[in-house]
Structure 1
Amino acid sequence: MRTSIATVCLSGGLVEKLHACAEAGFDGVEVMDADLVAAYESPEEVRALADRLGLTLEMYQPFRDVEGVDEATFADTLRRAEATFALMQRLGTDLVLVCSNAGTATVDDDAVAADQLGRLADLAATYGVRVAYEALAWGRFVHDYRHAWRLVQAADRPNLGTCLDSFHILSRGHDPAAIRQIPAERIYFLQLADAPALQMDLLSWSRHHRLFPGEGSFDLVGFLGHVLAAGYDGPLSLEVFNDTFRQTDVVRTAAHARRSLAWLADRAGSDRLTAPPPPSAVDFVEVAGDDLTEVEDVLEALGFTFRGRHRSKRVRLWSAGDAHVVLDEQTRTPEPRLAGLGVRVADPAAAGARAAALGAPGLSRRTYAGEQPLHGVAAPDGTRVWFGAAHPTWPAEFEGGAEPGPDALAGVVDHVNLAQPWQDFDEAVLFYTSVLGLASGASTDVPGPAGLVRSQVMRTADGVLRIPLNMAPPTAPVPAQHVAVACDDVVGAARRARERGLRFLRVPANYYDHLAARFDLDAAFLDELRELDLLYDREVHPDGTTGEFLHFYTPTVGGVFLELVERRGGYDGYGAPNAAVRLAAQRAAG
């Protein structure tokens, strides 16, 4: 698989972009005209730098407003084109992207359009240039790739082909199956971009909201399958216009982009990696901090059992049935934070190797004789993800702990809520999609005191691993992260925790008045919810049955808090209607 990326995807100047692309492992780049125009380096110097870096200058783009114009306008088009082709010779690239006319087109006549494309190609041929014609989704008369291909056929020039762009095709809902009918040698180039499902005008959607493969809603795996079936063997190239990516670190974004192509090629079968071993359970969550005494107080009050200190590391283990919390005072951090999670997989070594092949930074953990090895990688925000065996032995490495008592809490980790800085959010979606094989649901916006919080759930199909990702507005602080533990009797667990002195996050009385209006709840049950600061939600399943969700939150300690949940009747959500109440209550609590 050859890979390429358009320079428009990245921040910085052209020289910085070329260095970052080479470091990320790309084979080539598409040079955007705006990047070259703003560079102090001559085309010859850019060409020489690309050669030194081992990069191919795959294409120069874009050349706009060609076909469907009057003859006077077309004469000026040929003047612009000749200057462009001469520049391309200096740059050392022989392929130019020509977009369907969205600005100056006034003649809706395929014969005129084909004739003008042919004459442009004739001029290009005198400079040794090939022309890749692309249907823009917002083209004035040509906005369907099948129409563009018909015009290429009608023009019938040996140096005129088509460029296929996933955004322009999929954003309009066009069926990509007809790509299979285009001869491979006439598909000159392939541009790839994902995007979220949005209802907005195509130009704004394209210019601000494209994503790297694996981060949006497009079926890029199916799209690429059609292109490969046609026999295309050119580079897989990214063309992603995104406001965030144009502001973030160029080296990191290039590596992120390259990872997205590795994921896509793997899923499409053009460059198969080891199949992702699906996580079978959450093995543990890891909380780090210089002083974790308050966290231990919360765990003890909830009914967790202290299982001991590690025999060779400054970490302690607290457990509630199969929910394990590892407290790490080796990692220096001024306040407690959720530092990592462990997942159980069938083959930890294979999972680690696959993550490395996708460009995820590896982590090491010193182990001694008799200790279970862990293979780890770092998520974009630094969260540590550890791959452990399906039948772990590591709990035996902790010594001096107690056995669970009769009132001990027993549960499992239901979900791990990870807050993301705004600039890391899309990269995090790709990381958990590619490295852990999780599926992403639709994103939702939760109103909070500091603005809308964007939430997107990453999960396995069976729900054994659920990771909601939350992103606050850029001007707001990153929200606290939390671990949700599921149990069979959250009301009983709440009463016992209260008896041990734990005070939950205080819920406003107005919430319960609103709850009474939303649902026809038994008065005694509603009083019980109010007394214990419990929150409630209900969902109706397609078969008419209902599921219920009861939950409460602990106070926030540093940057982390816990949630205890109970799912009844197959409830599969996360209490989304209660999220705004929780955010406001946490802000009020300070």
Structure 2
Amino acid sequence: MAGVEKCDPDKIFFVQLADAPLLQQDVLSWSRHHRVFPGEGDFDLVDLLGRLHECGYAGPVSLEIFNDSFRQADVYRTAVDGLRSLRWLEDQTADAVRDAGGEPEREPLVLTDLPAPQTPDDWDFVELRTRELGRVTRLLHQLGFSLAGHHRSKDSVQAWTQGPVRIVVSEDPGATVQPTRLAALGFQVADPDLAAYRAERLLARAVDRAQQPDETVLHGVLAPDGTELFFGPHGNHGVPPWLGEFGADQDDAASGALITGVDHVNLAQPWQHYDEAVLFLTSLLNLHPTSSQEVAGPSGLVRSQVMRSEGNTVRIPLNVAPMAAEQGAFTGAAYPEHVALACSDVVAVARRARRRGLAFLPVPRNYYEDLVARFDLDPEFVAELESHGLLYDRDEHGEFLHFYTATLGEVFVEVVERRGGYEGFGAPNAPVRLAAQYREFGG
């Protein structure tokens, strides 16, 4: 793209844009099957548009997209995704132009800013919606959570807390597809009103949430996969104001709880909406995609890409299951979503959970034999891992110990302990989990 800024703008009549993932394949196949909207691929279109602005181009900018999912998608949804990508690109380019300084010799493209992004400072809450209230609350108790209270105006809505983690459980007796699902994610941001206004400008659909006049206003939008995302205020001493609606007057963050935070939340994405989800989280929450990975599962490779905030306070891995799984090979259950909880001592959490009757996801004996071969670990340490159903990974920065619960509906919980500077997600252990879940659901 170098040199575009030196072009004669009178000789540029029309600009068509497309993004794409960086792939090693012939250009024609790449172009016909893998074009995506700006912000959904790996090209630096902000730099390109900035150079066009610098040369003084002020003509039309359009999109030319070809890919397999685009051809099958709902046309209105595609139009929204395309316009969102252009508004995001325009906003990013305006920021880049200001940072670069200087003015072109002639009137350039008109670039309109969006409201400033409100990057999440932390997780506010996770909401599970279920028709099996007893099973879900029992699981939370087994993991060490305590009932903070019942909502004062919403029937069958509870809040469970441990340390700084808040999990809202709402009973949905009419659920017909899955008995339990991950319904909503709450984020703490500096200015919830501004976050909601930016989401509106980016064409996100608002969540219709009933509330009483004296209750906290929580702005929410629907993500492409239907998950509700809410923007909440920080509150006093880390306690969100909405928690008072459950009769809880303080958080137990300083009580020495073993669970210390939400490490990450994994969302499963339909393959045809994956690119849309990446742009949605990038443009609304200012999350940044990392390099994608592929993990082997019983019905094929599962693509995974992590969306991170600055400082890693919020991490959302997006998983795309093989198409066969979505067509019924797993009846949709082997690729569930999950909440990963950070802890200070995973052995202590596992020991407490086992005493309370937690159903762990079973780990085969040969996994631990393989650990000895891979890492040359002390046999006593491996025996301790096996006795608690823990999995292990290590890199040059540190260690990762974790366990999985059995799956409820389409949700399970992972508890993780990071030691040192380990920043991964235990990807080598994902095939073990997928195979165990496959067996769990009768595969």
After TM superposition, the score normalised by the length of structure 2 is: 0.89
Paired position in structure 1 for 2:73:
248
Deviation at 1:522, TM superposition (A): 1.5
Within 1, Cα distance between the matches of 2:173 and 2:250?
25
Paired position in structure 1 for 2:142:
301
Q: Is the 8 A contact 1:279 1:344 kept in 2?
A: yes
Within 1, Cα distance between the matches of 2:73 and 2:11?
36
Deviation at 1:409, TM superposition (A): 3.9
Within 1, Cα distance between the matches of 2:341 and 2:225?
23
Q: Which residue type is aligned with residue 224 of structure 1? A: L
RMSD: 1.7
Within 2, Cα distance between the matches of 1:394 and 1:330?
21
- Between 327-336 and 478-487, report the one with greater CA deviation: 327-336
Query: Per-residue displacement from partner, 1:123-163 (whole Å, max 9, x unpaired)?
Result: xxxxxxxxxxxxxxxxxxxxxxxxxxxxxxxxxxxxxxxxx
Paired position in structure 1 for 2:429:
578
Q: Which residue type is aligned with residue 290 of structure 2? A: G
Cα distance change of structure 1 residues 401 and 530 upon mapping to structure 2, 3 Å threshold: farther
For 1:460, which of 294, 306, 309 is the aligned residue?
Answer: 309
In structure 2, the residue corresponding to 1:353 is in which secondary structure?
Answer: helix
Deviation at 1:290, TM superposition (A): 2.4
Paired position in structure 2 for 1:421:
270
Q: Which residue type is aligned with residue 439 of structure 1? A: H
Q: Is the 8 A contact 1:429 1:440 kept in 2?
A: yes
For 1:587, which of 430, 438, 442 is the aligned residue?
Answer: 438
- Between 361-370 and 256-265, report the one with greater CA deviation: 361-370
Deviation at 1:472, TM superposition (A): 0.7
Paired position in structure 1 for 2:30:
205
- Between 242-251 and 392-401, report the one with greater CA deviation: 392-401
Show the 5 A alignment for 1:177-196.
177-196=2-21
Deviation at 1:308, TM superposition (A): 0.8
Within 2, Cα distance between the matches of 1:186 and 1:327?
60
Deviation at 1:406, TM superposition (A): 7.8
Within 2, Cα distance between the matches of 1:406 and 1:524?
32
Paired position in structure 2 for 1:353:
197
Deviation at 1:291, TM superposition (A): 2.7
Deviation at 1:517, TM superposition (A): 1.0
Paired position in structure 1 for 2:281:
432
Paired position in structure 1 for 2:105:
none
Q: Is the 8 A contact 2:163 2:256 kept in 1?
A: no
Paired position in structure 1 for 2:364:
508
Deviation at 1:216, TM superposition (A): 0.9
Paired position in structure 2 for 1:340:
184
Q: Is the 8 A contact 1:283 1:342 kept in 2?
A: yes
Deviation at 1:503, TM superposition (A): 2.4
**Higher RCO, 1 or 2 (CA under 8 Å, sep at least 6)?**
2
Paired position in structure 2 for 1:525:
381
In structure 1, the residue corresponding to 2:148 is in which secondary structure?
Answer: strand
Matched-pair identity in %: 55
Paired position in structure 1 for 2:100:
none
Paired position in structure 1 for 2:101:
none
Paired position in structure 2 for 1:232:
57
Q: Is the 8 A contact 1:364 1:375 kept in 2?
A: no
For 1:395, which of 239, 243, 257 is the aligned residue?
Answer: 243
Q: Which residue type is aligned with residue 246 of structure 2? A: F
Deviation at 1:229, TM superposition (A): 1.0
Within 1, Cα distance between the matches of 2:215 and 2:385?
45
| Aligned residue pair count | 410
Cα distance change of structure 1 residues 188 and 455 upon mapping to structure 2, 3 Å threshold: same
In structure 2, the residue corresponding to 1:246 is in which secondary structure?
Answer: helix
Q: Is the 8 A contact 2:258 2:349 kept in 1?
A: yes
Within 1, Cα distance between the matches of 2:133 and 2:280?
29
Paired position in structure 2 for 1:28:
none
Cα distance change of structure 1 residues 406 and 250 upon mapping to structure 2, 3 Å threshold: closer
Q: Which residue type is aligned with residue 442 of structure 1? A: S
Query: Per-residue displacement from partner, 1:211-270 (whole Å, max 9, x unpaired)?
Result: 111111111111111111111112221111111111111111111111111111111112
Deviation at 1:180, TM superposition (A): 1.0
Within 2, Cα distance between the matches of 1:259 and 1:331?
36
Q: Is the 8 A contact 1:194 1:217 kept in 2?
A: yes
Paired position in structure 2 for 1:272:
113
Residue 563 (structure 1) aligned with residue 411 (structure 2):
no
Deviation at 1:338, TM superposition (A): 0.2
In structure 2, the residue corresponding to 1:362 is in which secondary structure?
Answer: coil
Residue 329 (structure 1) aligned with residue 171 (structure 2):
yes
Cα distance change of structure 1 residues 586 and 330 upon mapping to structure 2, 3 Å threshold: closer
